[in-house]
Structure formats: structure tokens, C-alpha cells
Structure 1
């Protein structure tokens, strides 16, 4: 069973899914699964290719860590950063407008609630019809406050903060990119 555990980690080393690895080796997925579990064997050509892949990965792993990290880091162009900054600005403006809208609606509904309390206690209007209208307006006001609740406002404010942080990160990335570009220009 120790052998099966090592074979099961083959995909972890290579980075392919079971389906992808089986396809590359020219075997069925079930045949590869049995091999990984130690219940079957692979044809010789598949074993040779697997050994070659594992050796290649071992060579890559033995190279310096910084070299491997450079391969894994995505490269971003200034144009791509500009598009990300533009999208961030757009999203930030949207969420800013939404925050202001929710705050305004809350403010309006709080004013309406105060006025409704006054109207309910007004001695001149005690008719049932008037009280029914006030109840209906109160219910509508309370529903509107629920929709524009504090949690909705808080959620929007969190998004606002997230976009602000993203904005700073993008600006920093652009600054680093332009410094790198300048340094490459000086070296050339």
C-alpha cells in the first residue's frame, strides 16, 4: 500500500487531473486510477512517458526557487493595468452612488417616520379612514427601510473599501511597472 500512496501523488507532482494524465499517457482513466491505487499496471510506453514527465518535473524542482517563481508570476502590461484601473474606477463609482442612494432613502424614510408619528397623534384626524391610510404609509415606509437596511448599507460600504484598496494596489502595481520599464530603458 505504501507504493499506492506514492503513485497517487503522481498527479500532485505533475499538476494534471486524472483525466488529463490518462489522456497524455494514452490509457483509460479507470486504468490510471487502478494503477494509482496499486491494483493494476500501465503499458510500457505509458510507464516510460510517466517516468519522463516525473524526471522533467524533478529537474524543474531542483532549479533555483527564484527562477521557478518568475515563471509562475504573471506578466502584466501597462495597457492591461490601465484597463483594470478603469474598471476599478467604474465599479467604485457605482458603489459610491449606491451608498449615497441608500443613505438618502434611509434619511427620507426616517423623516417620513417622524412625520407619521406626528400625524398619528394629531387630534384633528382620528377617523378610521385616516388611520388606515397612516397604517398603509407606515407599512410602506417600514418595508422601504428594510430594503435599504443598515446591513445593505454596510455591505455596500465594505465593497467601497474593497475597491479603494484595489485602487491603491493597482496604482502601486502601475508605479512598479513604470519603474521597471524605466530601468530596462536605462540598461538598454
Structure 2
């Protein structure tokens, strides 16, 4: 059950935000990196983040949660187990054995590729995509494209952190993006 809201905002979000560290100039100058590893050191805030996602997705008929390597692997399996869905890892190239399908994409500071096992999702399956942060939307767009090429119906993308432009209701390639907290732009 949700804790009592303060001014229409879930009070758990304040603790989640406070547990995220900002590392300036990582991985390159000018980037303010929102580091979730410090959130993982705070079991209550970490648990609250997972529970907020579970509360949102529990009754949406989602049969698969696709987590984007690597930090989507932290939240995705817990959400999947709690809502009774399977977990599908979306990995960097050459990390999955067997037959895969791939999707290349452009990052804010380079290019990358995601891969998924052939047969990991079935046509018509309702899928939630999970990652730690949405900045430009490139990684999420690649994940959605990969899943949709396999016939899945991407219901929504869920990210712990979003840049201010993703605050509130927004969509990416016509799919909703749900963000728990806004990115912090200063070092602590």
C-alpha cells in the first residue's frame, strides 16, 4: 500500500533521490553522471523504488520485463518476479550465446548495440522495458525496436531517473515513459 502522500507526491521519492550520487565529468567532461550504486547501499530506498514500479505494473497484464544491460538488470528481475512475468535481458554485443537479433543505436557520446535471444519474446506478448536512466531516449528506442521486431507489444518504458524533459507524462516513439525521479545536475 502506498505511504501517505505529501502535497500529491509519494514521500518515498525523496529518499530515493537523496540516495543517488552525482559524479561530475563521467564518463566524459561535461556529463553529470547520476550513479545508482549508492541507492543500492540503502536497502529501504532501493526496496521502495522497486515497490513503486511493482505497484504501477502489477495489474497491467505484462508477461515479460526486458531489462537493458547493465543497470536495467538491477531493477528488471525484481519487478518481473513481483508481477509474475519473465525477465528478458537485452545485452551488449557478443554476450548472449546462441541465435540473437540486434539493434544498433546512437548514444549521447558514441554508438552501441543491443542484442536479444531469438524466441525470448513471442508475438503479441505485453512487455515492459526497464533501465536506470533516460537521457536522449536512444537506448530505450533501440530496445523498443528490437522487441517490436520480434512481435512484442511494448506497453511502457520504466526508468528510475529521467532528465527534466522526461519529467511527468511523456512518450517515446509513441510509447509512454514512466520516470520515478528527475536527474540531479549538481555534485554532492
Shorter-normalised TM range: under 0.3
The structure carrying a bigger helix percent of its residues is 1
The structure carrying a bigger strand percent of its residues is 2
Give the greater-gyration-radius structure (CA): 1
TM-score, structure 2 as length reference: 0.20
| Greater RCO (Cα-Cα under 8 Å, separation 6 or more) | 1
